[in-house]
Structure 1
């Protein structure tokens, strides 16, 4: 289900763990064949990858939509008086400083925002000359 629908039916005072996609690569590009097998339908397909025309594309993966996606996440968690544990990376579609600023602007003043940073070696899966790349993974705790 879409994250907005999930947040809308969530109980008050819950804790949300969110690990949205960090980059422009849509996860659906890896699962479209399996999805078609499970649905056992005959969808219209597009492009070289033979992607389903109805495949989901996360707003967290679209540069023009990522900010509003986070604002919606923050507002809906805040509305439910819930806590948020957000996992993100400094290689994400939005800068960590900007993300924290958005959180501060969209949560009530009685919320506390704590950021924990962990250095990490991310595998490039052979796409570049380097086998791994230094990144920072962030855990943003909002309660």
Structure 2
């Protein structure tokens, strides 16, 4: 996705593209910044209170991994951040059945924010 050396830390956390997504997700989810794997992982062992945070961060990491592989293996082309936002949105909609009903309002708020992001014009292109 960018021209930097490829490793897991870079792909998920230090790449400029990843940073944009984590910053935006943190705002959508009303949590502190996600700066590293530990920031994400600390939410995972918690109870259902953080189900939406866990779902959104997992959807983001899975989507980013798949998108990066699509680019790497020539199965896709870069066309802007909104493509990744849209993929995350679609994945979270499919995962809605995994969300506790008492967390639907938070999930719906996140989905609405993702829909807005997916509709935005591209603002960053890699080299």
For this structure pair, what is the TM-score category when the shorter chain's length is used for normalisation? Answer: under 0.3
TM-score (norm 1): 0.24
- TM-score normalised by structure 2 residue count: 0.26
When Rg is computed on C-alpha atoms for both structures, the one with the higher figure is 1
Please identify which structure carries the higher strand content: 1
Structure 1 or 2: more helix by fraction: 2
